[in-house]
Structure 1
Amino acid sequence: MARFPKVYVKPTDSCESCLAWGNFSGRLCPTCYMFDRGHNTAACTGCRRIQPLKWNYCRLCWCQARLSAKNVAGHPADETDVRDRLAAIRHHQLFFVGMHYRRRRTTSARRHGGRRGAPRKPPPAPAWLPDPGWRQLPLFAQIPRDYSRLALADADLASPWLAWAKYLAHRLAETRGWGRNIRFAVNRGLALVLTGYIEDDVIRHTEIFAPLRALDLPVGHTVTVLDEMGIFEDDSEPAFEPWLAERLEGLAPGIRSETERWTRILRDGGPRSLPRREGTVWLYLNRVRPALLEWSNRYDHLREVTRDDVLTYIKTLHGHQRHDQLVALRSLFT
């Protein structure tokens, strides 16, 4: 039976500086560790211990003075009030690690990124697919729109399509945890692309990508909302195809065809193999390409490459480069 190595876990202990009880590594709690790095060590005026000092008092005395000031004022006091109470310390109330730095609960809108005291903006009213009613059918096929000519100041904020989009964006934001800045930017992007929208129009990726990027608006999040509305078409060209064509350039026709088939099987999977991540596919082809270029000068087909050719090529490599190309070549010839 295999034995696993024992892992040492430091038991709960008290800090050697502030005497606080809790779970931490080392002899000092994290706050005392940082306090120790920024102050000189000497005898504390209050408790007479040899400790790092701030204004001649150790951190334990500072914590007691802060607690005394809070009990008198009813709320956390500033550093001046705490410093005035240092000389009156005659005892110490022990505490747990982290008690003095807990975040206070507040109903202020600052927790949500708003101004202090400002109410949180209410969510958009529920909206659904607008009823187009009577409308004039287009005479010609849809002409690609130039969204770069639109400005956010000219956006149609009263559009029922925008109201529906904002409601869907709010639901997606609540589900996926979008932050306040993302929500605001998505609403701006939707106002831009839905201005002048007519039912049955299709918003294409190539039409909105550059205008949204120019305004530093999130393309991906905006596209998610448009796709949820069913009015988006992804006509972007995958980056894989131009990259593959460029990597296969310069190879002999027979070697090129076999290499392309192997690369696509790596990416899409096959009857006896699972698909790999695209990054792995790129890495494998980049590793074997130097060898394929060399063999393309002598052979017309990959099946003409012999075991001796592979060994001769591998002898010119060393270290991890040799190992990585062996793994890729083994996959290719398999």
Structure 2
Amino acid sequence: MHAEFERRALPAGRPLQLAVRIEGLALNSNPLRNRAASGPRQRLAPWARGRVPPALDDPVVCVEEVPGQLGLFAPWPRTFTRAHGQRIRGRTIPDFPEVQAVLQEMAAERRVGQTWHFHTEGGARLALAARPPDERLVHPETLADLPKMAPTLHEALKRAGLLAPPRPRLVPSWMSAGLGSCRECLAWTNERDQRCAPCLDWGAGRQAAPCHRCGRWLPLRDDHCRRCVLTAAETDYDLDGIRLDGGGQLWFGGPLAPRSRKGGLYGHRRLQRKRREAIRASRAARPVSEHLALPGQLELFHLPRDWTRLDERHLPALTPAARILLNGFVAHIKSRGWDAGRMNGSIRTLRVLLAHLGADAPLPEEDVRLIARRKHFHGARVVHYLRLTGRLAPDRHSDAALARARHLADTAPAPFRGPLNRWIDVLCGTAPRPSRPLAPSTVCSYLRLAAPPLRTWYEDGVTDLRAVTRTHIEQVLEPVQGEAAKSRATALRSLFRALKREKLIFRDPARTVSLTTAVVLPRPLADDMLRGALDRLPHAATGSASCSPPCTL
């Protein structure tokens, strides 16, 4: 009972009586203090209180020293509990009655009961007993060692005149040996280790050398220590303005410290978001290009632009019209069912062209093809989209045969002009789906052969190539014969095959059209030539076996 009341363990070696648990005969006993039970606090029985000694003084708690004796070492931080205050409640402590009187006055002011007295008086005993022997006043920083009620005791000691004035924060000698922060990354709250765990992992397998940024002799990666690598990553895109000239920003240690791993930094996604935000901010702050093409402006003399020194990272800002055109191109790509991620080369080409030339005037086809020569740039779909939207300026140095083909397509009946230009794109390899290009002369020949049938169908009331059937094709092939019919059929097959490939028609009507062609037989040999050939053979069996097909004299 006394051990339970004093919250101390029983000494070893005491005899114990074993109890047998039988249903209906089990021994029932309740502890003097049931800490796990909820509800009102249990108190000791009256008979138990009389057997508890009224006063105790444990000499181990706050060892008494000779008054006025100078301390050899600085006081170490302590951690008191409520049990420590109870174990010295019988000790005579100087100045305790004055503090006790002040606590009674404060209790009357605050209208508190005996529980408040129990906690505050125990803390006051510990605060006064923990004073150095050569000092009478209690230092405010030592009140943090008490279990609770430190602000109340601070006020009570101040009223009693026993509270020392606060002194500047000092680092004791036992804490000034490089502990408390990492000596390599200088992280705070490092659990008093000289090197934190991330720095220990960083140094494994790396050679120490002078850092190129801070000059310290530490394990390096890419000629920089761990702290400089993290600082450079955090301030590479300095959105918050934390980059310091000639210095570095300190950070917290432990679980809040930035970490680095092989292949990237901890929080790689966060740094990528900072990069994207910085890129958007820098693009918004960029000026518009000084070389925007103005509509209707004449060219004094033509010089091809040099796009080989293009710096894609510092493009001018897009004008509102250019941004609308670029967004329309992306929407066109998605409407065709293509993956926008695989079309980055085409989107990049159009963005570069719009950033430098704008979208107010037609864009030169020559510049699109020059930009597309660079690595990771594509121009076929850009040329097609600009021609489709009427924003393409044709190449002035294009082939004469190809220009003739474009002229034939533009002079065709109005419903057929768009499909014919798409057919030319497929033949030249510049359609949305790239293909092997044909010679410009072949393209012009196909347009010249397909023009008369298209004009005939338009006069017969056909205004859409999706309405053309096999009968229409056979009707336009009937008036011509021989090689002319074969050439016209080849051109029409190429036209409808290209439109079916580009999904402009539902079916290919020329696929099953066939022409009857005359087979040219070989000319027979003269009789005298054949007779002379047979006379040279050794016997007739050899001649009959070697003649293919067999000849008849």
**TM-score band, normalised by shorter chain:** 0.3 to 0.5
Q: Determine which structure has greater relative contact order: mean sequence separation of CA pairs < 8 Å that are 6+ residues apart, divided by chain length.
A: 1
Larger-gyration structure (1/2) = 2
